[in-house]
Amino acid sequence: MGILRMRMNLEAAFKAVRKFLVQHVASRANSRRTLKKRHQGQARWKWSAETVVWFYTMSADTVTFDSVKAVILSAHEETTTEEKVNFYNSWAHSYEQDVAVLDYLAPGLAANMISTHVTGDRGAMSVLDVACGTGLAAKLMKNDGFGQFVGVDGSEAMLERARQSGLYLDLKQSLLGDQPLPFQMDSFDVVVISGALSTGQVPVTVVRHLCKCAKPGGYICMTTRSNHCNQEYKSTLELELRKMEDERLWSRVEVMEVEKWERAVLEQDDEEYIPVSRFLSDVSRYRYIHS
């Protein structure tokens, strides 16, 4: 009798739960339009004779341009190295979602320029992705046939995201500009740095480290912003690039000005989008693209 009563109680419980779920799903369907304004979720459930399993996943609040703008402004403030690394560690989980809102084009601009000039067996070429972040540039270069990626970044959390992509043969943490890159000289066919060469980010001194890592005859691709607040940095960078040409460390392949880099976030920016310069050089020891 005790076993029969327990079975009846369980069946009653299953019916009650089933009824609740049906009502809950109906209620969710009626309110989905309201919830969609702030969340995107997916619900799945599975029935069996013995169990009820309910799975629900909820994404973060919808990202807005204003919310991302506040993040970007923080990223470009002059801070200590430790503060900068901590900032990027905390930003890693939402980085790709946020920069998508900005129409961030730097990785694509660099990948396109490299694809235009670099020929041969791309799948066998070694690529050093400097300030690789979560791996945006490598993902785009993979589509163009490159596949031997090594990445370096100052943020361990960003590197973990890049590691999850499965694109990189190796990933190393290094504070860019403060110390030599942790690679042997003359190691890479292509070196790319997209988005990091600007005020408050990676110092101009890093470009000499890029040069040392590239093989003779290799390519280096760089991008930098051309908006008002980055003019001093850009001038210093261009002066260093020309100096390295004079030293016959590399030769210039192409320089290209692009009107749209990403949506502007600073009040000083008159245009809706920030312009960018791209450079590609040939390493007498190396080639570079500057953006």
On whether residue 279 sits in a domain, the answer given is: yes
Question: Are 41 and 181 contained in the same domain?
Answer: no
Question: Are 154 and 54 contained in the same domain?
Answer: no
On whether residue 256 sits in a domain, the answer given is: yes
Looking at residue 106, what is its pLDDT? 86
Mean pLDDT across the chain, nearest whole number? 74
Burial class of residue 116 in the structure, from the number of CB atoms within 10 Å of its CB (0-12 exposed, 13-18 middle, 19+ buried): middle
Cβ–Cβ under 8 Å, residues 177 and 200: no
Q: What is the pTM of this model?
A: 0.71
Average pLDDT over residues 44-53: 36
Question: Are 189 and 277 contained in the same domain?
Answer: yes
The enclosing domain of 216 has a CATH number of: 3.40.50.150
Going by C-beta distance under 8 Å and a sequence separation of 6 or more, which residues neighbour residue 102? 65, 68, 72, 262, 263, 265
166 forms beta bridges with none
Question: Are 109 and 50 contained in the same domain?
Answer: no
Q: In this prediction, what percent of the chain has a pLDDT beyond 70?
A: 62
On whether residue 71 sits in a domain, the answer given is: no
Question: Are 188 and 107 contained in the same domain?
Answer: yes
On whether residue 90 sits in a domain, the answer given is: yes
Looking at residue 163, what is its pLDDT? 98
User: Range with the lowest mean pLDDT among 109-113, 203-207, 234-238, 283-287?
Assistant: 283-287
| Range 205-230 burial, b when 16+ CB lie within 10 A, else e | ebbebbbbbbbeebbbbbbbbbbebb
Average pLDDT over residues 173-195: 91
Going by C-beta distance under 8 Å and a sequence separation of 6 or more, which residues neighbour residue 79? 87, 200
Looking at residue 190, what is its pLDDT? 96
Question: Are 38 and 159 contained in the same domain?
Answer: no
Residue 189 has pLDDT above 90, yes or no: yes
Q: At what angle do helices 136-143 and 156-165 cross, to 10 degrees?
A: 20
Cα 167 to chain centroid, rounded = 13
Between 243 and 83, whose confidence is greater?
243
Between 114 and 270, whose confidence is greater?
114
* Boundary of a domain, candidates 58, 73, 95: 58
Looking at residue 155, what is its pLDDT? 96
On whether residue 67 sits in a domain, the answer given is: no
Residue-by-residue DSSP string for 170-212? EEEE--BTTB--SS-TT-EEEEEEEEEESTTSS-TTHHHHHHH
Between 290 and 78, whose confidence is greater?
78
Q: What total number of domains does the chain contain?
A: 2
Cβ–Cβ under 8 Å, residues 202 and 131: yes
Question: Are 22 and 157 contained in the same domain?
Answer: no
The count of other CB atoms within 10 Å of the CB of residue 161 is 18
Confidence of residue 284 (pLDDT cuts 50, 70, 90): very low
Question: Are 114 and 258 contained in the same domain?
Answer: yes
Q: What is the pLDDT of residues 103-154, one digit of tens each?
A: 788 899 899 999 999 999 999 999 999 999 999 999 999 999 999 999 999 9
Question: Are 154 and 50 contained in the same domain?
Answer: no
Question: Are 54 and 146 contained in the same domain?
Answer: no
Question: Are 243 and 129 contained in the same domain?
Answer: yes
Q: What is the pLDDT of residues 195-229, one digit of tens each?
A: 899 888 899 999 999 999 999 989 999 998 887 88
Question: Are 121 and 237 contained in the same domain?
Answer: yes
How many Å is the Cα radius of gyration of the chain? Answer: 25
Looking at residue 229, what is its pLDDT? 80
Q: What is the pLDDT of residues 11-39, one digit of tens each?
A: 454 444 344 433 433 343 343 333 333 33
Looking at residue 181, what is its pLDDT? 94
Residue span of the structural domain in which 212 resides: 81-290
Looking at residue 254, what is its pLDDT? 86
On whether residue 75 sits in a domain, the answer given is: no
Q: How does strand 148-153 pair with strand 188-197?
A: unpaired
